[in-house]
Structure formats: C-alpha cells, structure tokens
Amino acid sequence: MHRYFDSHVEYRFFVRTKINYYEVNRDFIKFKSYFKCKIYNMKKILLFAVFFVPFIYSAQMSEDFDSYADGDALSVVGAANGWVEWSGGSGTNDCTVSSTYAFSGANSGKSIGGNNGLWTWTDFTEGTIKFSMQLYVPGGSNGGYIGLGDAAMTDQPNSINVLGDSLLFALDWQAQALIGTPVDIESDSWISIEFILDFDNQTGEFIVDGISIGTGGTSFGSSFGFGGINFWGQALNPFTGTQLPGEYYFDDLLVVDPLAGIEEINPLSLNISPNPSNGNFAINFNDSFDNAAMTITNMMGSIVYSEALSSVSNSTQNFDLDLNSGVYIVKVADDANEFTTRVVIK
C-alpha cells in the first residue's frame, strides 16, 4: 500500500541532475492545527491482492542471495524463504537476483523500474525486532522505496525512501513525520541500514552506517504485526506523490531480535520510570547491592553511560542523561548480583 503526504504546509525540494544538494522545509512535520494531512493509497494496477505467506517464524531470518543465479526471479527461487510478488503471482513483476553488485558473496537482490517484490514471514507483535540490510544506489538512479508492513501488506506503517542517488530518509506514516532528518548518501557504494522496532512501546529507530538518525513512532504493536518488507523499484516522493522508475540493490538481509542474546535478569529489581522517557528518568532499586557498576548500552553494543554505585537498598536514584532516541540496556552488577532491563529514550 503505497501512499503520499497531502499537506497545505509549504514544501520545497530542489533536484539537480544527480541531486548534488537538497533543501527541505521541514515545517510539514510540526504539529500545528493547520497540519491536516491525508494518506492516499497510490493507485496501482494490482490492488487487493491476496498473498500466500509461508509459515516462517523464528528468532532470525536472513537472505544473502548467493544460493540463486543471476537473473532469477525471487518469488520463484526464493519462495521457501518467504519471497512473493506484490500481485501474488510468480516471476512476472518481481525483484530479481543480480551479480552486478554484491556486498558479500556473488549476488544481491535488485529492484528496478517498478519491480515489486515482498519478503515475508509470520507477523511479530511483541518485543523488539531489528531489520538490517545493505543498500546500493547506483549513480543516476531516481531512487527507490522500501516499505515495512504486515505479512499480508494491508498497511505499511514505516518506509525507507531514497530520492535520487544521494538522499535517504525514513518515515512514520501515521504521524506524517520524518524519523530523524534526511541523510546524504554516496551513490555507487554500499550503505548499512538498520530499523529497530519496539512493539511494546511502538517506536522505530532508524540507523544508517552505525549512526542513529532518530527514533519515531510506528503502528506496529500487539494489534498489528511486522511481517514483511516491500522492495519497490519506484522512487516515491511522499510529499508530492510523484513516482519515477527507480533502481537499487540490496544484500545481506537480516531480521533478528536484538535482545535475544541479552537476557533480562531480575528486571523487577530495577523499576525505571517513566519508560519511555526523554532521558530524564528514575531507577527504583528494589533490591540491595554493594559497590556495583551500572552501564547503559545501545543496540550497537556501545556503552553510552557508566557509573559506580555505592551501597544501595530499596532506594530511588534520578538520572538526566543526554541520549539519542532508541532502546538501551541497563545493567547493574556487583559481586553477588546482576540486574538487567531496558529503557526506551524518545
């Protein structure tokens, strides 16, 4: 379901031959009374399609395209791994395998000129899931569209959009807002992209080349699950509705629970409130420990805050931390005990 913003708010976008620069008036994301946006379904030849979704549900799904051959239609050779067409057909309007560019191995996936492929699995509705991929935008491309939806693609609450060969951004469609700010990218090179969805708090964090661009909202949650990625070979401008034939390549796809290897140990011993917060929160220590070390770690595994704590027993400590939006792991440990939980920063 491809959509665009229809806004009375001023929008300016200047494009040159290879989009050497951009100017975006971001007033359209300000929440004012005159901000009256509507979501329109992009008219497509194939609507109301019924998809067959294979039962694929595990802690991790991956795709590197190296078991296929150049030119293969993904819905044909990759059906067992969840690949289908937008139309529900097979091999007619599909993304294909390409040996032209590859981040690892010999092949990658390719979406060009309106190709519309889906990588699907059984919906996730709770916890935290990270989707990651490598993206290649060739010089001169008009861009492309990558939508995050449920397995049946009844809706796509978030998307990753490429305009031209040098501008990348992520969107929260329900809020009609950018997630973070647009990112300048370099064409003819591989770009690492991660999207971390926290279903319990309904947030989505957008990460490019290991740098958190920002955290926004998402409609994914207990009542609407995350079950697929739409690789559409069209460059969709969500502010104007303009569509142009695009081209991009994708490799090393991974869907994984980023907290799978991080067990929450005695989480009730650390009560964080409010959670989510803006970085100003309190930790209620419902247990006692002596000379403990507290660390806060981001989803990339980097320690962003640490503190040595003296003897604490059934007390509350306030924190006012300048942290980027995202999901963080809080760990407190002494010689006898270890407590681990998570905190969400908006």
Domain coordinates in residue numbering, the chain: 3-256, 267-345
Q: What is the predicted pLDDT for the residue at 159?
A: 96
Q: What angle do CA 227, 230, 235 make, to 5 degrees?
A: 155
- In this structure, how many other beta carbons lie within 10 angstroms of the beta carbon of residue 191? 19
Residue 183 buriedness (CB in 10 A; 0-12 / 13-18 / 19+): middle
Please provide the average confidence, as pLDDT, over all residues in the chain: 80
CATH of the domain spanning 267-345, picked from 2.60.40.3080, 3.40.190.10, 1.10.10.10, 3.20.20.80: 2.60.40.3080
pTM of the model: 0.72
Has residue 188 got a pLDDT over 90?
yes
Q: Measuring CA to CA, which residue among 292, 335, 339 is closest to residue 312?
A: 292
Specify the fold of 3-256: Jelly Rolls (2.60.120)
Cβ atoms of residues 220 and 200 within 8 Å? no
Q: Measuring CA to CA, which residue among 246, 181, 242, 205 is closest to residue 5?
A: 242
Highest mean pLDDT among 14-28, 47-61, 125-139, 257-271: 125-139
Report the distance separating Cα 195 and Cα 247, nearest Å. Answer: 21
Residue corresponding to tokens 């990588």:
119
Report the distance separating Cα 176 and Cα 6, nearest Å. Answer: 10
Residues 71-109 have pLDDT tens digits of: 999 999 999 999 999 876 555 678 999 999 999 999 999
* Same fold for the pair 3-256 and 267-345: no
Residues 19-63 have pLDDT tens digits of: 333 343 333 333 222 222 322 333 232 333 334 444 344 457 899
